[in-house]
Chain A
Amino acid sequence: MQLSVPSDRQAFTRDAYGDALAELGARRPEVVVLDADLSGSTKTSVFGKKFPERFFNVGVSEADLMCTASGLARSGKIPYASTFAVFGAGKAWEMIRQAIAYPGLRVRIVLSHAGVTVGEDGASHQMLEDLALMRALPGMTVIVPADAAETRQAVLGTVDVPGPVYIRLSRNKTPVFLPDSYEFRLGRATVLRDGSDVSLIACGQLVYPALLAADLLQRDGIRARVLNMSTLKPLDREAVQACAQETGRIVTLEEHNIYGGLAEAVARALVETHPAPLHAIAVQDRFGLSGTADELLDYFGFTPQKIADETRKFLKATPA
């Protein structure tokens, strides 16, 4: 796979979302979009400008956002409901549970500004628990695209999934590095780089630094496999099993609290298929803090150098 690593191109996943929505809107008249007064940030405004009659700003009312989307789905529409992850997955979780997940409705919940890379807004806005909350809902599909190109594919590719779908997006610009030939497949992980000593299983914007970390490890003769686990649920258990069988040790990477996200999903798959040592690179059960996105990525150990260092330590502590 010809990756652009390092990449000289950056883009917002939320821009890709807005453009994908507009593209969908032109093709699918049943697509409607709702936002809780943050459309300029979530980029649903791109759709709103093109299709004002199918766009609803419900105001700063996240409970209503989810319930109204539920009502529209019951009328045969395909609603996309967006706001920031902390408000959508946090404040409105019970509405998602009762009004969307319980009846299994075709609502797409696409929330931006997840993770510490929200930056200066600080911990109040840095959603680090959404993957746990959304994974816990029966029948909810959970997707964290790795870059803008995958975001577009994930949005377009899940429009007809029968039940509810959650897609997690970021605030900051992130490298665009997946090749043109890359194909998002729901529920399938993609091996972006092969290796036999350790597997780095990452999601979202940590896939890219995982690839750079693999380059650093290579210099020490450590061959790291890198997986893009963009679908957290349903999880690609076969890919996890193959990593355990073929590389032995596993490192997971997620911009999320260590509880309830990728690490625990992978850990369960490992225990149930092919037990292997796992090291989780994640936020260590704490809230975020204010800073620039780059400062915070460094502070929380998400830079290529720190990922490589952690991986080396882990490999030393768990000899093959």
Chain B
Amino acid sequence: MDETARRIRGRLVDMSHRAKTPHLASALSCVDILVAAYWGVLRIDPALPQDPDRDRFILSKGHAATALYATLAQRGFFDPALLDSFAADGSPLAEHPAPRCAPGVELATGSLGHGLPVGLGIALGCRLLHRSYRVFVVMSDGECNEGSVWEAALLAAAHRLDRLCIVIDYNKWQATARSNETMALSPLREKWQAFGWEAVEVDGHDPAALLEAMGGVPHPSGRPRAIVAHTVKGKGVSFMEDDNNWHYRVPTAEEVRRAKEELGLA
């Protein structure tokens, strides 16, 4: 998994450089969560991306789209060569995922605060259809500023949607400031607990911890699950880690080289 995560991180650096797109640090921050999900948790078959019984995975922090695209490609949903077209004229892979843009992309995201309530609806549908798939939604900490997140938090708990799971990529930054200085997010796990969720805190870069937390869905308590995953923005590239300039900055060719070297991909 570590090897897979490193290769995906390398791709993200390349994609940001080539397409001159921002949000590299936000994408790097959630890679381990996506790798744990796609290689260790989700019941999915890349050959059957529309299988009605598949687990649903929603990257609600749509600005980290490169992480989703690179993960899906690596997992076999589509040809990794398609990643080279990212954000280019005519490419299906845009800076924010569009509806049905590529196999495995469940939802058009980019406007924060949509992934959870839509996932909630999918989980309700799952119950109505008497199916057993699960719905995983990855959100950012900044996204928890959105009122719609807390509307859905209340509703999912009321319906005891135990097949719904969120993973919050808690990297302590939002676009322009520290997330905890912008809004009083902390204590985040306790908030979700108080909202009626089965909430845990994990190291968001520890595959074993992520596998255990996500693998335990549905939880025997019958509650929806919230995983507060402590992460580092820009994870994997020392000079990007916890430096919020990389929310928008695009790496130069030299920075790409250095990043690849650090990732052992040189």
Contact = CB atoms under 8 A, between A and B. Distances in A.
A75 B126 CA distance: 7
Q: Chain A: interface secondary structure?
A: helix
Contacts of A32: 128
Interface string A102-114: 1110000000000
A63 B121 contact: no
Contact of B121 (A59, A71, A94): A71
Contacts of A75: 121-122, 124-126, 128-129
Contacts of A68: 117-118, 120-121, 124, 152, 155
B24 interface: no
A226 B100 CA distance: 44
A72 B99 CA distance: 16
Given A98-B111, A102-B99, A102-B108, A64 B152 contact: yes
Nearest to A107: B121
A102 B100 CA distance: 11
Contacts of B260: none
Contacts of A67: 114, 116-118, 120-121, 148, 152
B41 interface: no
Interface residues of A, number: 28
A95 B148 contact: yes
Given A67-B117, A67-B121, A68-B121, A59 B155 contact: yes
Contacts of B116: 67
Interface in A119-152: none
Contacts of A61: 148, 151-152, 154-155
B128 A77 contact: yes
A68 B158 CA distance: 14
B119 interface: yes
Interface in A59-103: 59, 61, 63-64, 67-77, 79, 94-95, 98-99, 102-103
B117 A103 contact: no
Contact of A76 (B119, B129, B147): B129
A106 to B, nearest CB: 13
Contact of B119 (A59, A69, A71, A73): A71
Nearest to B133: A75
Nearest to B116: A67
A130 to B, nearest CB: 20
Contact of B117 (A53, A71, A73): A71
A124 to B, nearest CB: 19
Contacts of A64: 117, 120, 148, 151-152, 155
A239 B110 CA distance: 40
B111 A94 contact: yes
B121 A74 contact: yes
Contacts of A77: 125, 128
Contacts of B114: 67, 95, 98-99
A58 interface: yes
B224 interface: no
Contacts of B117: 63-64, 67-68, 70-71, 95, 99
Interface string B96-137: 001110000011101101101111111111101100000000
B114 to A, nearest CB: 5
Contacts of B108: 98, 102-103
B148 A71 contact: no
Interface of A: 32, 53-54, 56, 58-59, 61, 63-64, 67-77, 79, 94-95, 98-99, 102-104
10 smallest CB-CB distances across A and B, nearest first, come from: A71-B121, A75-B125, A67-B117, A61-B151, A63-B148, A103-B99, A68-B121, A64-B151, A71-B122, A71-B118
Given A59-B158, A71-B117, A95-B117, 11 more contacts: A53-B128, A56-B124, A63-B113, A67-B116, A70-B121, A71-B118, A71-B123, A74-B107, A75-B125, A76-B125, A76-B129
Interface of B: 98-100, 106-108, 110-111, 113-114, 116-126, 128-129, 147-148, 151-152, 154-155, 158
